[in-house]
Amino acid sequence: MLLQETEKSTGGPIPEGPKLSEIMTARDGILLVHKPLHLTSHDVVDSIRELLKTKKVGHFGTLDPLATGLLLIAVGKATRLFPFFSKHDKTYRGRIRLGFSTDTFDTEGKPMSSESKSYPDQIKLEQAMRSFLGKIDQIPPPYSAKKHRGRPMYAYARQNKQIKTQPIRVVIHSFQLLAYEPPHIDVDVHCSSGTYIRSLAHDLGQALGCGAHLARLERTAIGSFSIDKSYRLEDLKTLVQKNNYEAFLIPLESLLPEMSKIILKESGQILAQNGNMIFAENIQKAVPPDKFSSYAQSEDQTYRLFSPEGSLIAFARKDPDGNGLHPFLVIDTVVSDK
């Protein structure tokens, strides 16, 4: 639930954040990109770097070249927000092909057995899908970017080296059947970060006894961000040519609204920019407007610190030894981070 901005009765109006056109020279923010088929996530990052003429670009969550859909692209100081976005749940829409598994768990791999046409009926299929709900231990695909001793798994697989990997704990919130026309299954998956849909398809085939692999995949959501709000690379190029950055770039000040917002006095801004402790006397307003001593219900709660003018300065947590806030990630959008 998003926090509603209110103000103390003794204070003035809450300052509005700077307009994007006023901070556009820094190009700090997040954009939602609809990744096309066959491009890697790094290819998309390179395209955005060239488009925006800035090197400080990264992504929050890789998509395989054979997958399409939503990529969160960070620009400028937004690249420092990876810890906040890397754990967001993901939603996918995909197609699973029954009949045989492959060594890559998708259509690019070599079949690992002859084709079986003993397809399950829909009742058995849905029962098997339900068995994957909740917390499960999942083995990453042999051909994946997951690291083993500093090297990605696909590097070992290409050398025909079999690496015994430890399972990872993931959460499957929902695994819905959209359509079943054997040998194809269309599904919708809502899962925790770190889940491999290729592994889910492979494991489903093993559970059904007929083998399976992932035939198609589209990521439709990351946390609260939806593919409906994303832009294709050609559309972004057109918007940049029109100098219409406000259409696609989400500024830092609008990100992570679920975190409480604290507007600092000038003294607090200087302290925060230098990573120093913030106390009640350095705060102009809090949103919601609780007393400073009762801000944090837990030491892990994170707060966004803003300048008096409304620019995001830093992220802070309550100091365990006192009543102050300790900035642990200083952003300070005043200075460009090109």
Contact 331/250 with Cβ under 8 angstroms?
A: no
How deeply is 100 buried, as exposed, middle or buried, from its count of CB atoms within 10 A (0-12, 13-18, 19+)? middle
CB atoms within 10 A of CB 123: 8
For residues 53 and 62, give the distance between their C-alpha atoms in angstroms, rounded to a whole number.
Answer: 22
Query: Measured between alpha carbons, how far is 30 from 79 in angstroms, rounded to an integer?
Result: 9
Paired sense of beta strands 67-75 and 212-222, if any: parallel
Residue 96 corresponds to which amino acid? I
H or E element that contains 229: none
- The whole-angstrom separation of Cα 272 and Cα 286 is 15
Which residue among the candidates 64, 106, 203, 332 is catalytic per the annotation? 64
Amino acid (1-letter code) at residue 191 = C
Tell me whether residue 64 is one of the annotated catalytic residues.
yes
What residues contact residue 116 under an 8 Å CB cut-off, 6+ apart?
Answer: 98, 99, 100, 209, 210, 211
CA angle at residue 15 from 13 to 16, to 5 degrees? 120
Q: d(Cα 317, Cα 314) in Å, to the nearest integer? A: 10
Taking the C-alpha atoms of residue 186 and residue 97, their distance in angstroms, rounded to an integer, is 9
Q: Coil, helix or strand for 127? A: helix
Catalytic residues: 64
